[in-house]
Structure 1
């Protein structure tokens, strides 16, 4: 069958050209729909990957900040044993610096689990601050504030460990 025969046959059936146009239009529409659907899915997958990366970054930053705070609070607790009232105020202020850093990370965090652990760490630092201000000397029989401060540090260390699980 030659091309001339096919063209002659197509010209003798004018309704057939309309059907070819209709079917071609459907094919183009379906191809466009598939391309948009694939593109939309790809952008959603990319946004999901970015969200996961941001959550891991926030968890890492939070874990580092909380671990640093716990380490320094241990040193501050030792220093508070022999510190006077004004020195204990300064130690509490030093703990407040860590509090501000962790609160800033908490504001940027989007995952509720991270926010919860960062909030617990902030509460722990606030509890430590209150305890260290009321701290009695190492040789005083009333060690309730010292115990409260150590419990606060334990809570902060626990939050750091939980944040590390998200990394």
Structure 2
């Protein structure tokens, strides 16, 4: 019950397969967490293979602290199977900022994987440490340096307003 309630309310779960922990968006449906990824424009799902076991940590939506951790059986759903269609219908409603919303499910069938993480056991011996780690390498960037002329433009606006 705690696993289901906490996972439903959290927008992200931390999942560790055979690789590093990853924060992943998900949808809770019919007793499992559903994930889509490993395709262009979607979240990476490294180390999560069909038949494997993953460790899931759920955080508090308001405080961000660890609420519960559980092990999960990983199952990859075959495209256009009954389970896949059900999962995709749920995931499609929660996928934000999709560049191709009208053909997204066809793209998922061609290029992505849809996974079902079914809880097995709750992990009760949570570590005392924070488990903080350095961020994973990424090609994503933050702001570029401000243009040199921006300061003059902002000062000009302030003087005109006065």
With normalisation by structure 2, the TM-score equals 0.23
Q: Which has the higher contact order (CA 8 A, sep 6+)?
A: 1
Bigger Rg, which one: 1
Structure with the higher helix share, 1 or 2: 1
